[in-house]
Amino acid sequence: MTMTSRVALDPFGADITAEYARLRALGPIVPVELPGGIPAWAPTGYDTLKGLILDPRVSKDPRKHWSLWPEIGEHPSWGWIMGWVGVVNMLSTYGPDHTRLRKLVAPSFTARRTELMRTRVEEITAELLEQLAVAGESGEPVDVRAGFAQPLPMRLICELFGVPEDMREDTGRMIAAIMDTSDPSPEHAASVQQQIGTVLPALIAYKSAHPGDDMTTELIKVRDDEDGDRLSDEELLYTLLLVIGAGFETTVNLIGNAVVALLTHPEQLAAVRAGEISWDGVIDEVLRVHPSIASLPLRFAVSDITVDGVTIPAGDAILTTYAGAGTDPAHYGESAESFDAGRGADDHMAFGIGVHRCIGAPLARMEAGTALPALFERFPGLELAVTPEELRQVPSFIAYGWQEIPVRLGG
Ligand code: HEM
């Protein structure tokens, strides 16, 4: 396959579902180009993706298994990928390195530990709903993303990690910049690296001087523990980046996508209100059709892998294509692209599967499962203040969510 026959992915992710339908028509695994021209293979169906994620010949460590790793620096427009694969944490490691880095953080996010955060989530939810009510008192539209979907997970994760108030805005800006794949310029990549190199060292320095009952303090202790698991400076920084980043942007979009899905499917909202469809059903269906992580860069073939008649050569990159899998008609039937909260499809892979499956899934589910019923109960007349066509997707082929969600709160 030559470079010219690669399909360039839309760096803005303007219509991710339609893009996957087009790719699927080309075959089970399609050669694509990520922004800036980075070559990768995109599995387009559920079974193909699942098989690849679970295949032990597929790695997440670019340093060991990506043939193009040594030449990234030679391509000025490839620098943006470093925010995803250049990080040294559990997301981009393989085998024992991955196990070691994951076990430092995973125990803090078990279903049992997550349950302990429920009261705090309820408190923040109640506070934000009051603020939203005040903002919408005049009947003017309010942005339910900026006023609700975003601050809830942001506040929670910042409290968990002891991020002080005055560092939260910079933290949010850094995560949004990493998610924004619309600009593969070296300047954008440099700005992202500059933010990572400023915001996180500032947090580590602050928590070293002001230790508290938070996870940053815990991780700093591991770094400094001479006999223990030995987190290097680099691993500490990138583990914080991963968990703080993954801990909020994804959940923001889960809540936002659910609000839009319900407001554009009033008959399903009525069924939810009537108790005929569960909130868990809504959350799973949103994750299936509009997974907060639509596609994740990157995985790598450790040896030649032949799947569905296509050979991915050793050293090639593979995109993890959750949005393609979630809307695959071969798995979910002809209506795969439609939102149907009553369909009971809870086998989506939006939280990943296998050894890299999301450690924050119970937390994200709990946050959305608290926020959504509270929002719709508080504002029974909630409605979109724009047409669905006017909503704009965040500029990313990775993140799947709406930039703004203007609503009227109703009487
Ligand atoms: C709707 C919300 C969320 C979605 C859709 C989501 C999605 C994902 C996905 C797809 C993966 C697998 C990546 C892979 O296969 O390589 C993953 C991994 C991960 N997620 Fe989440 N996530 C969410 C929320 C969270 C939260 C709240 C946290 C933390 C508090 C979190 C922390 C992580 C971490 C640390 C990993 C890496 C696990 C590993 O590589 O071993 N995520 N997430």
pLDDT tens digits for range 269-283: 999 999 999 999 999
Q: What is the pLDDT of residue 410?
A: 87
* Cα distance between residue 353 and residue 403, in whole Å: 28
Q: Quick one: pLDDT band at residue 249, thresholds 50, 70, 90?
A: confident
Q: What is the pLDDT of residue 115?
A: 86
Whether 115 contacts 214, CB under 8 Å: no
- For ligand 1, mutation pick of 250, 320, 363, 396 (most atoms within 8 Å of CB): 250
Q: Quick one: pLDDT band at residue 38, thresholds 50, 70, 90?
A: very high
Q: Provide the 3-class DSSP secondary structure of residue 298.
A: strand
Q: Which of 174-178, 219-223, 374-378 has the lowest mean pLDDT?
A: 219-223
Q: What is the pLDDT of residue 4?
A: 46
- For ligand 1, mutation pick of 358, 365, 366, 372 (most atoms within 8 Å of CB): 358
* Cα distance between residue 327 and residue 334, in whole Å: 9
Q: In this structure, what token pair is assigned to residue 243? A: 């968990």
How many angstroms does the Cα of residue 245 sit away from the middle of ligand 1?
Answer: 9
Residue 4 phi, psi (nearest 5): -70, -25
How many angstroms does the Cα of residue 247 sit away from the middle of ligand 1?
Answer: 8
pLDDT over threshold 80, residue 183: yes
Amino acid at 108: S
Average pLDDT over residues 122-126: 98
What's 93's DSSP letter?
A: -
The pTM (predicted TM-score) of the whole model is: 0.96
Q: What is the pLDDT of residue 230?
A: 76
For residues 88 and 379, the model is more confident at 379
Q: What is the pLDDT of residue 110?
A: 85
Q: Which of 26-30, 81-85, 111-115, 317-321 has the lowest mean pLDDT?
A: 111-115
In order of their start, the domains of the chain are: 3-408 (1.10.630.10)
From residue 25, give the alpha-carbon distance in Å to each of 15, 75, 319: 16, 31, 17
* Cα distance between residue 288 and residue 349, in whole Å: 7
How many angstroms does the Cα of residue 350 sit away from the middle of ligand 1?
Answer: 9
Q: Which residues' Cβ are closer than 6 Å to ligand 1?
A: 90-91, 102, 109, 242-243, 246-247, 250-251, 254, 291-293, 296, 320, 322, 350-352, 356, 358-360, 363-364
Q: What is the pLDDT of residue 104?
A: 86
Q: In this structure, what token pair is assigned to residue 215? A: 């996870």
Q: What is the pLDDT of residue 114?
A: 87
**For the packed helices 233-263 and 186-209, what is the interaxial angle rounded to 10 degrees?**
110
Name the percent of the chain lying above pLDDT 90: 86
DSSP notation for 180-242: --S---HHHHHHHHHHHHHHHHHHHHHHHHS--SSHHHHHHHHHH-TTTT---HHHHHHHHHH
Q: What is the pLDDT of residue 229?
A: 65
Whether the link from the prior residue into 237 is cis, omega within 30° of 0, is no
Q: What is the pLDDT of residue 3?
A: 42
Amino acid at 352: G
* Cα distance between residue 5 and residue 339, in whole Å: 33
Whether 106 contacts 114, CB under 8 Å: no
* Cα distance between residue 374 and residue 275, in whole Å: 14
Q: Quick one: pLDDT band at residue 298, thresholds 50, 70, 90?
A: very high
Mean pLDDT of the chain: 94
* Ligand 1 atom nearest to CA at 349: 10
Q: Provide the 3-class DSSP secondary structure of residue 371.
A: helix
Nearest C-alpha to atom 20 of ligand 1 is from which residue? 358
pLDDT over threshold 90, residue 386: yes
- The two beta strands, 142-143 and 296-301, are unpaired
Residue 402 phi, psi (nearest 5): -100, 140
* Ligand 1 atom nearest to CA at 60: 16
* Cα distance between residue 328 and residue 326, in whole Å: 6
